[in-house]
Chain A
């Protein structure tokens, strides 16, 4: 057991548990933030993508010990009402089918747009290939990223 403090979506959190616990389960089980999804547990599907100090990471393999004093942003932290331009683009393009992977897709896309404000198709394809969409909504994801890029200008 160890007491570790960090911030989630701008709010300070102190968690006292096994420091090996992946951030994914800290978010879901301890902090009741269930927008970050469990898909594989081995950083292969991207459903659990969050930002750690602004960088996209897979929460399922990120131990609590590695986030001490760091800043975590989850899908709930982008905006509460979906007004963040990437979330809004996802709604406008009507991307989701089952919707389970989309929070992770949005977190990856938001990080991608920070790196490439005007991403090319190739940059989107490469940058988003860590996130599996089992329903196959990739074309709409690409369209939504381009729309978000436009709206962020």
Chain B
């Protein structure tokens, strides 16, 4: 048991209030009107979008839990309430879950990003459940006149064994609400968890399969108009003129106008990244009518000058320069070729790599490249806004509601307390919805037309409006002595417009002479975080290179990594090594065992391994495949994951499987290219995403047994699979793949 003081968070969430109708509520944001976790159907009000912020226990024993963070498919809407329910000793089948609204007074970090929701929410979620449990216990002690220390709880019941009394949480709720909020509570030890570590089905599962409104695009409101935007067809262009004479006359169209998303010259946050600040809004009564009018617009474009602006990320302000010009993919490649040859920024240097490389008996050098990638959330960008002089009501898919509320406050000149943002379930995030310009656009449009508006991006708008994963290049060099011992390691990585390097990650710390350098090339193609930013490239290529190093040395690739990790543990080189060698080795050993690595495969099967640490979690994977001409048919992927305590097993397995499919798909097929600044892929008829027939035939996920605090899982299983796939393809074909996408065929 571990005892914690609740005082730190007292003001932030533990505020006990008696409800008029009885029952107990904690100011920790729980509320009814969801689907019970037990998967039975209850009557749900039509206005499913109305959120309120509390935990509530009803006299009938119903417990409603609100999940504080945005749900993008990472399943925290199930796993966050599981943590609360466990510490509450609740009966999960009587729990109803609902999405909390944005409420910065109650919640901390209502953000979906960096695989941090569970890790950073862990303590406060447990505290909320444990506090309520303590209050229920003291209520029972008071009622039965027995010492509170003799009270126990289990499955939504309170017990006093000596007097043989018991009571349901519901019957105690009203007295419990009047108890003092404890200043100190004890949290459970992992061995006494009864919900954490089990498998609980997605709390929205039944709503999803019956097509109920859940997503931003499903949002409806009386009198709501539909809005679309028209943006420049190329990076480096801006709007010159609009001829809307024909479009205005079309049926159902109420307004067409030019607007600025942000007021030029005002300060922006790093999440106010937007590719085209000035756009045309088309507003009307239905989606199809607005789409027709959009296509009837006659638009002229002009070159956009260089833009210099300041963007603030937390307390750091940076100057962002967006150059002018119309860029091409071939030009990007040429810029990378040139820049990669030049001297660049040394990020980490251990020992004397220069001497080691000049004295080397052999140097292995390989370069790797990967393209820009759109996120392609299946639900395109959209947002609902109703802005009046008095208040702003917004609802939709956003990963950064708190940050965007500030941006909107600044844009509209409206205080934060007059802005209400509701979080809908999101049809995918992958980082794209960290950048909420579409929320601001919806609000600006609503303000202008003085009506509730739902802004909808077409797929083409979505895929061509930027915020892509950057284009990356990395060159690795390994130095060997005449006995084929690895003596030095050098990575020089860069990209358009940013570097993917993480200099303090493995194999830094395991090699005496190590050099990590980085460079970047400015560009006006807008970029942003994309599932496992930077790691989504550097992990795969580093793991491919290590495979070649092991091959040259004639050692087993897992044994090779384990030896390096042993050295990093025993005699670490340098400082700030950003990984725990034991946990890293742990996932490698587990995957080796589970995939029967030491047994040879059949002749046609190629096999490859990779492991990576990012976003606080460790993942190792082994890919097995057969080749069907140029196309790899992945027969099996085995994954070993160390993310500390696993909250929801089925969710964690699902996330790992999905990340594996995603990584294989993007490395085989994904790329956005540019011709005169114009994105060359705008829809799924030419942009290839992985489909059912291309997915692995089998995926096995194994978790390291752990009692360490949980870390995230939305991103860590994605990066290494690209390396494992490349290594398996080499093993099957004898051909190394250095440039992504590995295949470049039409679907």
Do A and B pair up? The answer is yes
| Chain A contact residues, CB within 8 Å of chain B | 1, 17-18, 21-22, 25, 28-30, 32-42, 44-45, 47, 74-76, 78-82, 87, 90-92, 94, 96-103, 106, 121, 124-126, 128-142
Among residues of A, the one whose C-beta sits closest to the C-beta of B377 is A134
Residue among B72, B74, B683 having the largest count of chain A Cβ atoms under 10 Å: B683
**Contact yes or no, A35 B288, CB < 8 A:** no
B332-373 CB mask vs A (1 if < 8 Å, else 0) is 000000000000000000000000000000000000000000
B521 CB, min distance to chain A CBs, angstroms: 29
CB < 8 Å: which of A1, A44, A138 contacts B661? A138
Stretch at the interface among B116-124, B212-220, B434-442: B212-220
**Contact yes or no, A103 B202, CB < 8 A:** no
Residues from chain B with Cβ under 8 Å of A132 in the complex: 378, 684, 689, 691
B376-403 CB mask vs A (1 if < 8 Å, else 0) is 1111100000000000000000000000
CB < 8 Å: which of B425, B683, B691 contacts A98? B425
B270 CB, min distance to chain A CBs, angstroms: 24
Residues from chain B with Cβ under 8 Å of A1 in the complex: 251
CB < 8 Å: which of A22, A37, A40, A99 contacts B73? A99
Stretch at the interface among B60-68, B187-195, B695-703: B695-703
| Given known A-B contacts A36-B211, A129-B692, A135 and B205 have beta carbons under 8 A apart | no
**Contact yes or no, A38 B72, CB < 8 A:** no
Residues from chain A with Cβ under 8 Å of B287 in the complex: 25, 28-29, 38
CB < 8 Å: which of B214, B215, B655, B689 contacts A97? B655
**Contact yes or no, B202 A96, CB < 8 A:** yes
**Contact yes or no, A34 B211, CB < 8 A:** yes
Q: How many residues of B contact A (CB 8 A)?
A: 68
Let me know if B475 is at the binding interface, CB within 8 A.
no
CB < 8 Å: which of B210, B217, B655 contacts A38? B217
Residues from chain A with Cβ under 8 Å of B74 in the complex: 97
**Contact yes or no, A44 B205, CB < 8 A:** no
Let me know if B12 is at the binding interface, CB within 8 A.
no
**Contact yes or no, B654 A140, CB < 8 A:** yes
| Cα–Cα distance between A22 and B655 once the two chains are bound (Å) | 34
**Contact yes or no, B211 A75, CB < 8 A:** yes
Q: List the 3 shortest-distance A-B pairs measured between CB atoms, nearest first.
A: A35-B211, A136-B661, A98-B73
**Contact yes or no, B286 A87, CB < 8 A:** no
| Cα–Cα distance between A73 and B334 once the two chains are bound (Å) | 53
**Contact yes or no, B209 A98, CB < 8 A:** no
| Cα–Cα distance between A116 and B41 once the two chains are bound (Å) | 31
Among residues of B, the one whose C-beta sits closest to the C-beta of A99 is B208
Q: List 30 A-B contacts (CB under 8 A).
A: A21-B288, A29-B286, A34-B213, A37-B378, A39-B378, A39-B380, A41-B459, A42-B684, A45-B684, A81-B41, A81-B210, A82-B209, A87-B209, A90-B208, A94-B205, A96-B205, A96-B208, A99-B204, A100-B427, A102-B209, A103-B208, A103-B211, A126-B693, A134-B662, A136-B661, A137-B658, A137-B661, A139-B657, A139-B696, A139-B698
Among residues of B, the one whose C-beta sits closest to the C-beta of A89 is B209
Residues from chain A with Cβ under 8 Å of B202 in the complex: 94, 96, 99
Could you tell me the dominant secondary structure of chain B's interface residues? loop
Interface contacts beyond A29-B288, A94-B199, A126-B693: sample of 16 additional A-B pairs, CB < 8 Å, sorted by A: A17-B288, A34-B218, A40-B685, A45-B378, A74-B211, A91-B206, A96-B73, A98-B73, A100-B428, A101-B378, A101-B427, A133-B378, A134-B378, A135-B73, A136-B658, A138-B691
Residue among B201, B218, B692, B696 having the largest count of chain A Cβ atoms under 10 Å: B692
**Contact yes or no, A125 B692, CB < 8 A:** yes
B406 CB, min distance to chain A CBs, angstroms: 26
| Cα–Cα distance between A100 and B159 once the two chains are bound (Å) | 43
CB < 8 Å: which of B39, B209, B651, B683 contacts A103? B209
| Cα–Cα distance between A53 and B659 once the two chains are bound (Å) | 37
| Given known A-B contacts A34-B218, A76-B211, A100 and B206 have beta carbons under 8 A apart | no
Residues from chain A with Cβ under 8 Å of B209 in the complex: 75, 82, 87, 90-91, 96, 102-103, 106
Residues from chain A with Cβ under 8 Å of B684 in the complex: 39-40, 42, 44-45, 132
Residue among B211, B376, B429, B684 having the largest count of chain A Cβ atoms under 10 Å: B211
Give the contacts of B452-484 with A (CB-CB under 8 A). Answer: 456, 458-459
Residues from chain B with Cβ under 8 Å of A32 in the complex: 220
**Contact yes or no, B210 A37, CB < 8 A:** no
Let me know if B324 is at the binding interface, CB within 8 A.
no
Residues from chain A with Cβ under 8 Å of B377 in the complex: 98, 100, 134
